Amino acid sequence: MENFKIDVDADGIALITFDVPRRSMNTLTSGVMKEIPEWVERVKTDDAIKGAVLTSGKASGFCAGADLGDMASGMLGGSDLQAAYDAGWRLNGALRALETCGKPIAAAINGLALGGGLELTLACHYRVTENDNKIQLGLPEIKVGLFPGGGGTQRLTRLIGVQAAMMAMSEGKSFRPNDAKSAGIVHDVVEKGQSVEAAKAWVKGGGKAVQPWDEKSFKLPGGGPYHPAGIQNFLVGNAMIRKQSWGNYPAVTNLMKAVYEGVQVPMDAALRIETRYFIKTLMTPQAQGMIRSLFLSKQELDKGAVRPADQPKSDPKKVAVLGAGMMGAGIAYVQAMAGIETILIDRDQAAADKGKAHVEELLKKRLSRGQLTQEKFDALLGSITATTDYDLIKGSDLVIEAVFENRELKAEVTRRAEAMLEPGAVFGSNTSTLPITGLAEASARPEDFIGIHFFSPVDKMMLVEIIRGERTGPAALAKALDYVMKIRKTPIVVEDGRGFYTSRCFATYVAEGLAMLEEGYAPALIDNIGRMTGMPRGPLEMHDDVALDLSLKVAKQTQADLGDAYQPLPGSEIVRKMVEDLGRYGRKNGKGFYDYDQKPKKLWSGLGDLAPVTIDDSTPELVEDQKRRLLYRQAIEVARCWEEGVIDDPREADVGAILAWGFAPWTGGPITMIDQIGVAKFVEQADAYAAKYGERFTPPQLLRNMAAKSETFYGNFAGQKQAA
């Protein structure tokens, strides 16, 4: 065995140390899965062994779970269902053998145990972990479109009841050691470094080698589905998962099915049921897309997959932020958290101080939750200097400009800041719409000028869109990426253009909602269909959030820029009337498509006069068609961006879409969606929409060419990577 080491002590207790070679973290590789039955067999049959303690040999944690890369490809090698089931059963079979081996086995959980890692310990007869807030215990599989498939759905429910287990698994939430103990997931929490001793003591003290659920007297905590109390968990649970998933995530429904069916039968049958639903889930396009985009691709981007490899690694230590509004303050906060010294500059001291006060609020939240010590809090806040003095910029590795979207203002602060910068330091503009090449004209050194587009609220939004201007150099790009990675955000790199990638594509969603309004769809229907696509909010309420006056301003600017070529978007006249005639600006003045003077907000009753409703009844078919319409509209814009060279890496397109504007995560992103539908079918449907709704749905030539050659985006990309 290369992944486990066995040392039998004088008391006959085998210490099994889990330590996958050449990896920084233990995962359930296929090698590991093969070796578990080997040591279980040894524990079972070796008379010298009285019991065992399983622990990790890694400082990084106990086990981070399954190897998703392995799993996505390995388990579904072909279309043979029985083979897929057999592969899925390997872990469950091994863990069942573990818990029925007849000798007591305790888990000394000396580091984080997630997913399959926690499931491995759940199959042990006793679990003890350590009092260390870095340790997390949880089953987060749902976040990548899966659910626990190593017995977790069955053992956790039998340990802590259906309600608590469903909450833990359907949200993928982790537990800290003491919370895990009060929830009943572990038996004990001991001081750091003491878990192995405690686990051995349990074995020595006559620890029982039978799981509670294998006892005749076992009763499911809280009751099963047809128990008078237990029934509520299912009645309400079924509704909750629809409320939360909008029916877009088969993983959470299959999770519920595995729990419902599993708790009604003995453990062996329960595990077979779990494996069947697990394989069923793994085969869904949603799981395939989510594993790739939300886990594998995101991880690759986080590690700098798109960074120019020939540029030396940089480490920004001091960064100045121009503009201390919500954005600038948010950026200062994430910089402080990453240990970057920050100069926060605004026009007057009061504005700069206000920005810093916002950072203080965010830090206080962490302090009150015990995530920061007072000492650390003071240090982090102290690393931010709020000032009006541009001289303090001196010595910065990078400047982020986050002032108002006004070319003259941006040009002025660019010149003033650049004057303070050493050669090689980078100037980044956090503009969300103004083309970088144009802004760079104010710069004396456009090769060091780049777009670094954050999303609001900065502390929560994971993505940063880096925009390369025409003259941006590779060194600036590498440094910007190093910066983004240092503040632990996910970077994507796009080329310059109106709205770049994210703002441009997001705008189509909002605009299409307006088109539906003009076509006579009831406003409630529009926003509910929007939510049902898996987007975080409906297009009308999104429009209110963005602000109607802003959207009108952008439309007018675009009209001025394009002149005769400008074509007004459907429904734009409704927005003009709302803003100019009725003073309805959106959420910011409490009056938009909705009235915000009461909670919950209510659709504005006057909307029907501006946009008479002719479609106020729905069928599932209509809803499906309009959901597709909203998603297609965005995906077509993504494909146009690709054709124009704004974006050229499917990972960036997909991860960027999900993290920046909340593009339906269940799809795995717009490019994955097109690939999974099939380019030819997508083109055909888009053409049908174009005939019905207008040219904005006409698919770009790129897609027609790909369809003709039966290509896919990811297929082509894999080919390029191989060629490179």
Partner 1 sequence: MADAYIFDAVRTPRGKGKKDGSLHEITALSLASQVLEALRERNELDTSKVDDVILGCVAPIGEQGADIARTAVLNAGWSQQTAGVQINRFCASGLEAVNMAAAKVKAGEADFAVGGGVESMSRVPMGSDGGAWPVDPSSAFPTYFVPQGVSADMIATKWGFSRDDVDAYSVESHKRAARSWEEGRFKNSVVPVKNQLGLVQLDRDETVRPNTDMQTLGGLNPSFAMMGEMAFDAVINQRYPEVERVNHVHTPGNSSGIVDGAAGVLIGTLEAGKALGLKPRARIKGAASIGSEPSIMLTGPEFVANKLLGKLGMAKSDIDLWELNEAFAAVVLRFMQALDIPHDQINVCGGAIAMGHPLGATGAMITGVVLDELERSNKETALITLCIGGGMGTATVIERV
Q: Which residues bind partner 1 (CB under 8 A)?
A: 225-226, 228, 231, 234-243, 246-247, 253, 256-257, 260, 522-525, 528-529, 532, 600, 602-603, 616-618, 620, 623
| Token digits of residue 388 | 């009006």
Max CA separation in the chain (angstroms): 89
Q: Which is nearer to partner 1, 239 or 379 (CB)?
A: 239
HSE value, Cβ hemisphere, 13 Å, CA-based, for 308:
14
Q: Which is nearer to partner 1, 131 or 245 (CB)?
A: 245
Q: Which amino acid is at 303?
A: K
Distance CA 453, CA 400 (A): 10
Name the minimum Å distance from CB 521 to partner 1.
Answer: 9
Distance CA 68, CA 66 (A): 6
Name the minimum Å distance from CB 721 to partner 1.
Answer: 40
Q: Identify whether 457 is preceded by a cis peptide bond (ω within 30 of 0).
A: yes
Name the minimum Å distance from CB 563 to partner 1.
Answer: 40
Distance CA 330, CA 324 (A): 9
Concerning whether 465 is annotated as a catalytic residue, the answer is yes
Cα torsion through 17, 18, 23, 29, rounded to 10: 160
Options 141, 465, 512, 541, the catalytic residue: 465
Q: Which is nearer to partner 1, 425 or 525 (CB)?
A: 525
Read out DSSP for 346-382?
-SSHHHHHHHHHHHHHHHHHHHHTTSS-HHHHHHHHH
Name the minimum Å distance from CB 233 to partner 1.
Answer: 9
Q: Which is nearer to partner 1, 330 or 665 (CB)?
A: 665
Q: Which is nearer to partner 1, 167 or 524 (CB)?
A: 524
Cα torsion through 397, 402, 407, 409, rounded to 10: -90
Q: Which is nearer to partner 1, 167 or 623 (CB)?
A: 623
Name the minimum Å distance from CB 289 to partner 1.
Answer: 21
Distance CA 464, CA 457 (A): 12
Distance CA 352, CA 667 (A): 41
Distance CA 60, CA 135 (A): 10
Q: Which is nearer to partner 1, 111 or 237 (CB)?
A: 237
Task: Please state at what angle helix 679-693 crosses helix 701-708, rounded to 10 degrees.
Answer: 140
Q: Which is nearer to partner 1, 205 or 620 (CB)?
A: 620
HSE value, Cβ hemisphere, 13 Å, CA-based, for 155:
25
| Residues β-bridged to residue 490 | 463
Distance CA 100, CA 208 (A): 11
Name the minimum Å distance from CB 169 to partner 1.
Answer: 13
| Token digits of residue 674 | 């097109």
Distance CA 229, CA 425 (A): 65
Name the minimum Å distance from CB 603 to partner 1.
Answer: 5
Distance CA 669, CA 293 (A): 7
Task: Please state at what angle helix 620-643 crosses helix 650-661, rounded to 10 degrees.
Answer: 130
Distance CA 91, CA 55 (A): 18
Q: Which is nearer to partner 1, 258 or 494 (CB)?
A: 258
Name the minimum Å distance from CB 524 to partner 1.
Answer: 4
Name the minimum Å distance from CB 606 to partner 1.
Answer: 15
* Euclidean distance between the first and the last CA atom of the chain, given in angstroms as a whole number: 37
Q: Based on C-alpha coordinates, what's the Rg of the chain?
A: 28
Active-site annotation, residues: 465
